[in-house]
Amino acid sequence: MRDLVLVIDIISAVALIGLILLQQGKGADIGASFGSGASQTLFGSRGSANFLTRSTAILGTVFFLSNLGLAWLYAQQTVPASVTKSVVIEQPVKTETPAPPSDVPAAPKAPEVPK
């Protein structure tokens, strides 16, 4: 289930980026409004939303909902409280390790004193 929602999320993100890059900015008609014969002006009516803006709104909603779904799905994961609780140990292994050799040399024997 998580994989399906993740694939939907990635596809909607890439499509959303593509649709946003295809759209024309609001200020793109400023140069056309000062002299060249353009049908749209800076302060003219924009008209109803066209196909690209509606598609962008729908894909934005799909992207938002898929992210919420992913957050909910990953929050439902059960994680063990401790790593040691998730590992099953059948028998503890007992090993005897010799003491490491000391780097300090042994003290020399005291000379015997004649009596």
For residue 88, what pLDDT band results from cuts at 50, 70 and 90? low
77 or 42: which carries more pLDDT confidence?
A: 77
Q: What are the angstrom distances between the C-alpha of 33 and each of 23, 43, 46?
A: 19, 9, 14
In the predicted structure, residue 17 carries a pLDDT above the cut 50: yes
The single-letter code of the amino acid at 80 is P
- pLDDT value at residue 42: 47
Torsion of CA 70, 72, 77, 81, to 10 degrees: 120
Q: How far apart are CA 86 and CA 80, in angstroms?
A: 6
Q: How far apart are CA 7 and CA 11, in angstroms?
A: 6
Full-model pTM: 0.52
Domain residue ranges in the chain: 2-82
pLDDT in tens, 92-111: 667 777 666 667 677 777 78
Q: What is the distance between the terminal CA atoms of the chain, rounded to a whole angstrom?
A: 93
For 4, 25, 53, 67, the CA distances from 12, given in Å and listed in that order, are 12, 21, 15, 10
